[in-house]
């Protein structure tokens, strides 16, 4: 998922002193939740370092992975502005460092810095469109399809070499035994290779065809 690193860093640097003094820093260990679906919160979260996965629990009990937040991503802004409970669960993939801004101070800051409001609205609209498209595309995916989709996405982003089974568990929201079965399935079909704890996709076109065939 895209972030607003340069713009957001500048806004944070230029924040009023009183606003900065109210900020809270929080560290979350890998594998622990940052936000939990259907809970309430009154803070805007800014991911300073680390990565975090975003997923939603569907009505039939299926967990749907949506995207991965990288440093300088904004979390929880939709719930604050729309005054709703958390629409998704955010889980730390790696150890994360976050900046928390109280809702009241956030609104005061926005009144003083309209460009921050524009950044928030951009985040909300981008995520709303992305989530809608993602849910439509993935709502009927099996674990096998999710695993291959995640590997292809990692390859597109140049991050396949950093992908491991633990990350797949988080991003696919599936237990390790299911990930192992899925990896074996794609290895048997010659779509994915897994050697020395590293994933390889020997034929990208074949992999995309296999994913499209599943759908």
Q: What is the pLDDT of residues 79-88, one digit of tens each?
A: 887 788 888 8
Query: How far apart (Å, rounded) are the C-alpha atoms in residues 86 and 123?
Result: 16
H/E element holding 49? strand 43-49
Question: Does residue 8 have a pLDDT over 90?
Answer: no
Buried b (16+ CB within 10 A) or exposed e, 202-212: eeeeebeebbe
DSSP state at residue 195: E
Segment 94-112 shows an average pLDDT of 88
Per the model's pLDDT, the better-predicted residue between 12 and 97 turns out to be 97
pTM over 0.75: no
**More confident call, 93 vs 127:** 93
| pLDDT of residue 148 exceeding 90 | yes
Q: What is the pLDDT of residue 138?
A: 64
CA distance between the termini of the chain: 23
pLDDT of 215 strictly over 60? no
Nearest Cα to Cα of residue 12 among 111, 109, 121: 109
What's the mean per-residue pLDDT of the chain?
A: 84
**Residue 61: pLDDT band with limits 50, 70, 90:** low
Q: What percent of the chain has pLDDT over 70?
A: 89
Please identify which residue in the block is written with the tokens 């949506």.
66
Average of per-residue pLDDT across 135-153: 83
C-alpha span between 74 and 9 (Å, rounded): 12
Residues 151-162 have a mean pLDDT of 85
CB neighbours of residue 111 within 10 Å: 10
Q: What is the mean pLDDT of residues 188-207?
A: 93
pLDDT of residue 154: 85
Helices (H), the chain: 5-13, 17-22, 77-82, 103-112, 114-138, 143-156, 165-172, 176-188, 204-214
């Amino acid at each position: 998922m895209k972030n607003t690193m340069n713009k957001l860093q500048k806004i944070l640097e230029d924040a009023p002193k009183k606003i900065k003094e109210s900020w809270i820093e929080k560290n979350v260990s890998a594998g622990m939740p940052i936000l939990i679906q259907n809970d309430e919160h009154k803070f805007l979260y800014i991911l300073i370092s680390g990565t975090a996965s975003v997923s939603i629990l569907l009505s039939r009990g299926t967990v749907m992975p949506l995207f991965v937040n990288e440093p300088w991503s904004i979390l929880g802004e939709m719930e604050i502005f729309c005054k709703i409970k958390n629409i998704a669960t955010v889980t730390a993939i790696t150890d994360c460092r976050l900046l928390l801004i109280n809702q009241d101070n956030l609104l005061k800051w926005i009144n003083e810095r309209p460009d921050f409001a524009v950044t928030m609205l951009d985040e909300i609209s981008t995520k709303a469109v992305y989530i809608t498209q993602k849910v439509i595309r993935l709502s009927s995916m099996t674990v096998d399809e999710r695993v291959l989709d995640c590997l292809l996405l990692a390859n597109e982003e140049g991050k396949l070499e950093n992908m491991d089974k633990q990350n797949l568990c988080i991003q696919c929201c599936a237990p390790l035994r299911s990930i192992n079965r899925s990896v074996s399935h794609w290895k048997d079909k010659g779509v994915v290779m897994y050697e020395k704890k590293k994933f390889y996709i020997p034929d990208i076109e074949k992999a995309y065809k296999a994913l499209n065939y599943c759908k």
